[in-house]
Chains A and B, each alone.
Chain A
Amino acid sequence: MSNEHVTEPEVNENLNVSPLDDFDTAETVSPAPVSDDSILDFDDDPLSATSVSKKSLVIFFLIDTSGSMKGKKMGELNTVMEELIPEIRRVGEADTEVKVAVLTFSTEVRWMYSTPIPIEEFEWARLRASGVTSMGAAFKELNHRMSRNSFLNSPSLSFAPVIFLMTDGYPSDDYKEGLRELQTNSWYKFGLKAALGIGQEANDNILAEFTGSKDTVVHAYSGGQLAQMIKIIAVTSSQIGSKSMTLSDDTTHELGEEDVFAAKQKLLGQQIQELVSTQTDGDDVPFDTGW
């Protein structure tokens, strides 16, 4: 790679969020040189190819590991996450390299691994719960890492990340300040955001502030629901994140940027709501009863 700098992407003034303004283009891009070397100067075996260049999709899980998550909630969460990984493996197919990053927050915020891990190699490290709910600190840490210089450093093209927040309580720090910082991040703006409230204490309004809409917030009151909801959200959002849209019936009008803006987030909201409405409670005992 040369050190030549990349031209700044054009910013469309008409959009209320200027696209791409802080996808800091740290990596440089240079086209292949034209060359007329002789036939034997390079590996010319038509059968030896490397994997097609993939677009990268990072799925961020933000998981509340405060003391109130102890017991059944954490047990259920650990189990479903272990089961979930093989299901997400199929999502990327040949076009997308799916990576996973897990940020836990309690009294402290901590990444499960120091860098996003390709889904094929990812192994879930079981989490334990203790301490308070530093959600604001988690937002700040996420903002810090969602950068070309940090976790989103794939040299090739990326899809906007999937960001999935799970919590069972009210933040114990100033989550608003953290969220304000996060909201300036372009990866966050274009990312697919979803949230899961666990049990009675979780506040859906705060979660909707995080995702930007109520459609992408769901609530689980029991272990069975928790497992269902995590799977629904994670699989649906990674499918949508790594694919484009199915299209409108109306072909009389050409799509403009305003038509497609945040289209994936809207689709995610619709699909989550449809899927959630078809789930059944069964005979699960709610988290908050039976003590």
Chain B
Amino acid sequence: MIFLFRYVDPIWLYPLMGIWILGYICFGRVQRRAIWHYHRQRLHQTRWQAFWGLIRNYNEFGKALLDRFACWGGRQMKITVDGQELWDKYLMTEQPFVILGSHVGNLELAGYTIQMPQKVYTLVYMGEAETVETNRKRLFDKMGLTIIPVQKDGGHILDMHRAIEEGHVVSIHGDRLFFYTRAMRTSLLGAQANFPEGCYRFAAMEEVPVLALYVMREGRGQYRVIVRQLSDGHPTARTHREQAHELLNAYTSTMEEVLQRYPNQWFNFYEFWS
């Protein structure tokens, strides 16, 4: 199927995606309820707006997945940048920093489309199908990205630390509780939600700049990379936990900013605010 994308524009597969969306809406009760609650309770939409929001949410997710497969097949997306100064200062120079991503937009696409001068280590949950993992690893290798798999014993934290010590970039998701044992709570879109404490404490401890990166779909084959700075990494007198909370609050502010503009590219298909 990946091979197919080398020759076929993803747009021709959108009708097939409609069937997939219908199936998901009919049978994915848990996911459907979570997205419905997101539109109704967090975006304060009417039932009618939430209904269309739900369909558009699945539609955007399907398109994001097809674009990802298209990249695996060798297609290039057109990228524009929001935050050019930060892009030039960090992403195009050789210095260590931490990228905080999320399941808002299509962050993985950044790995396939942005050629950075420094080595990038990305924390990845390796729980998907073998074919997906094999193709993903092949592409990551091609792009100079090194995967750090999430490990149950937490060994990935030391791998991430070593990568920063050696002057590389580490990319982590700031919105999923994997095997992290602790959570931090803060307000997102007007209600309290859990976030993984580990990644924010890690970013605070390393004393390097921390950036938020979003890759948002704008149209057919077009994406906007949004770069925001959360910290300059200068040492402070505050504890790492306090700094982690500041980073989290700064991060959720950027999430809210992005979601205001792209409300249907929220790809956390579970009850995020439970």
Answer yes or no: do A and B interact.
no
Chain A residues proximal to chain B, CB less than 8 Å: none
Chain B residues proximal to chain A, CB less than 8 Å: none
